[in-house]
Amino acid sequence: MKKINFLIITFAVAVFMTIGAPLRAEETVVKVSSDPWEPWVMGTEGEVASGGIAVDLVTEIFRRIGVKSETVIYPYERCMIQMKTGERDVLLMVKKTPEREEFMLFSDVAATDPQLLYYSTERMDGFEWNEFADLKPYTVGGVQAFNYGDLTQATNAGQVKMELTANDSQNIKKLFAGRIDLIVLNRSTANNYIQQHPEAKGKLKATAKIISNAEFHFGLSKKGSATGYLSQINATISDMKKDGSLNKILGLN
């Protein structure tokens, strides 16, 4: 009888280890989303991101916490829907707004990046602006579901005309084709584009006035499985700022 009981217990333990271990491993993978946004996030929509500043940053943060993360690329509007439904856990480099706080928790600021208006020197012989009324004769290109702070508010109030596309690359193409007059870009995005397309140097130029000094956070879906990591994420961001590793990843060293 003792031998039979021992065999039953051994079998039960083996079944638990076979079934339970993969489940525990699966639970430790944080599902991260982002749109394709060079140099922050690189890759193809619907696939795991191939690299980028934000991908390197979130990977290092969760590595230090002791959790795996996987970043998959989707259109930005879908990323927002995923945060509302809890289909994915974390959204990279997102600005905090009261509307978004209804369905996301936000980490401390992970990075800052100025947003500016850019124009084509082939189509404009210099351009500057002081207030949103100066933009009324022009069509400004932006990205769907992206928040541009005061510019978004001015657009909603009818002060600025904006045409929205799926990503910055499409806007840059439209700008050079003369289909829009100005585009909103983060400085890092514009600099990266010029590095990747040397022929654009001197042709893609920013205005002096900054729209906003964008502060980017990690957004955690309130319905996702990563909300319990928020305090650890913030502590890790603080540690990485102190030890210089955050600036190293951001390319600010």
Task: Name the phi and psi angles at 12, rounded to 5.
Answer: -65, -40
Task: Name the phi and psi angles at 18, rounded to 5.
Answer: -70, -40
Strand partners, 179: none
Rg of the chain's alpha carbons, rounded to an integer?
Answer: 22
User: Are the C-beta atoms of residues 37 and 165 closer than 8 Å to each other?
Assistant: no
User: Are the C-beta atoms of residues 68 and 225 closer than 8 Å to each other?
Assistant: no
Q: Please name the residue ranges forming H helices in the chain.
A: 2-27, 53-65, 76-85, 150-156, 168-176, 187-196, 230-243, 245-250
What domains appear along the chain, each with residue ranges and CATH number?
27-111+216-250 (3.40.190.10), 113-214 (3.40.190.10)
User: Are the C-beta atoms of residues 94 and 219 closer than 8 Å to each other?
Assistant: yes
Strand partners, 33: 72, 91
Q: What is the pTM of this model?
A: 0.71
pLDDT in tens, the chain (253 residues): 544 454 444 444 444 444 444 334 445 799 999 999 888 999 999 999 999 999 999 999 999 999 999 999 999 999 999 999 999 999 999 999 999 999 999 999 999 888 999 999 999 999 999 999 999 999 999 999 888 989 999 999 999 999 999 889 999 999 999 999 999 998 888 988 998 899 999 999 999 999 988 899 999 999 999 999 999 999 999 999 999 999 888 876 6
Strand partners, 68: 29
Q: Of 212, 251, 234, nearest to 54 (Cα)?
A: 251
What is the residue type of 34?
A: S
